[in-house]
Amino acid sequence: MADTIRSGFVAIVGRPNVGKSTFLNTVLGTKISITASKPQTTRDRILGIWNSEDAQIVFLDIPGIHASDKALNRYMMEKALSVISDADIALVMIDPADTVQTLSDVVLSLRESGKDAVLVLNKADLMSPEQAGEKLDALRGVYPFKCSAAVSSLTGRGMIEVLDCLKEALPEGPRFFPEDMITDVPVRFLCQELIREKVFTLTKREIPYATAVEVEEFREGEPTYIRAVIHVERPSQKAIVIGAGGRMLREIGKEARIDIQRLLGTRVFLELFVKVTKDWSKRPRSLKELGYK
């Protein structure tokens, strides 16, 4: 390994649902951040570590920048702004739908932090190279970006260019984490997130945003035993998550178990329960009890 490397913390910043989590998973080659087609899937800071011979880039996947008065959303924005403030550089992720107007909140957050930034156009597989270039040209002027690139988090296109761009922008420094480490997130938290992801992808309308997952018991072994509670805010939501004859809850459990087994490398016995915790997303005390601190 090189004696001198480039290293630092990179906050992945953007509107909800531009593909920040998919980008991080693709860069790392493994799934540590949950994804869904619905916006505001990421609620907390997820750290992912990319190593090469001459660099260590510590990515910080944060909630999408958006405005809301809801307690949970305020928590998400406070978390996002705190991470941006602590990072060395911001990776501003946009998608083909972005405009100067849609980026206004993101740019305001950057200006308040004073951070250096790079501009990355995601979902470039949906555009021709000419269209991608035109989009980057149109948005480069909203902030003094160090560099810009177009990527596809689904195909991996452009990832090397982005990593090279970040390496140039980061200072010389140490490796902050061991080279075989890819995240600092506890396994228990990752399991909660994988269950929540299945609620997002399998249920409809407002249900995903009214749910939180709490792992009450986690016993390693063969199989690993996990008991988790899905919290919702109203009895009608509980009925939807359980489904007719328990069908929806079984499907959530089945799909979550597959991903958790892949994560842990062991067989998993997963028990899921659904509990009504009235208006948990609006109450600061409930947020703390469910781990949003």
pLDDT of residue 3: 62
Do 136 and 191 lie in one domain? The reply is no
Cα 287 versus chain centre, distance: 19
The rounded distance, in Å, linking the Cα atoms of 4 and 81 is 30
Do 130 and 209 lie in one domain? The reply is no
- Between 269 and 113, the more confident residue is 269
pLDDT category of residue 66 using cuts at 50, 70 and 90:
very low
CATH number at residue 275: 3.30.300.20
Is the confidence at residue 78, as pLDDT, over 70?
no
Strand partners, 119: 92, 148
Do 150 and 230 lie in one domain? The reply is no
Do 162 and 127 lie in one domain? The reply is yes
Do 220 and 268 lie in one domain? The reply is yes
What's the structural domain count of the chain? 2
Do 25 and 96 lie in one domain? The reply is yes
**Domain assignment present for 162:** yes
Question: Percent of the chain, pLDDT > 90?
Answer: 56
pLDDT single digits (tens) 177-223: 999 898 888 889 889 989 988 998 898 766 667 788 999 999 998 89
- Using left for φ > 0, alpha for ψ between -120 and 50, and beta otherwise, residue 156 falls in left
Do 49 and 153 lie in one domain? The reply is yes
205 Cβ partners below 8 Å, 6+ apart?
none
CATH number at residue 122: 3.40.50.300
**Domain assignment present for 167:** yes
pLDDT category of residue 281 using cuts at 50, 70 and 90:
confident
Is the confidence at residue 38, as pLDDT, over 90?
no
Do 279 and 234 lie in one domain? The reply is yes
pLDDT of residue 95: 92
Question: Percent of the chain, pLDDT > 70?
Answer: 86
pLDDT single digits (tens) 1-30: 556 799 999 999 888 888 888 899 899 988
Give alpha helix (H) positions in 87-176.
Answer: 104-113, 129-139, 159-169
Nearest of 203, 207, 226 to residue 216 by alpha carbon: 226
pLDDT category of residue 71 using cuts at 50, 70 and 90:
low
* Mean pLDDT in residue range 233-252: 94
**Domain assignment present for 238:** yes
* Mean pLDDT in residue range 285-293: 73
**Domain assignment present for 179:** no
Is the confidence at residue 69, as pLDDT, over 60?
no
The rounded distance, in Å, linking the Cα atoms of 258 and 194 is 10
Using the structure block, give the residue that is written with the tokens 């609006």: 282
* Mean pLDDT in residue range 219-234: 93
Range of the domain at 192: 187-289
Q: Find out whether 24 and 12 touch, Cβ atoms under 8 Å.
A: yes
pLDDT single digits (tens) 79-132: 666 677 788 999 999 999 999 998 888 888 888 888 899 999 999 999 999 999
Do 150 and 194 lie in one domain? The reply is no
Please give the mean pLDDT across all residues of the chain: 86
* Mean pLDDT in residue range 244-273: 94
The rounded distance, in Å, linking the Cα atoms of 66 and 77 is 7
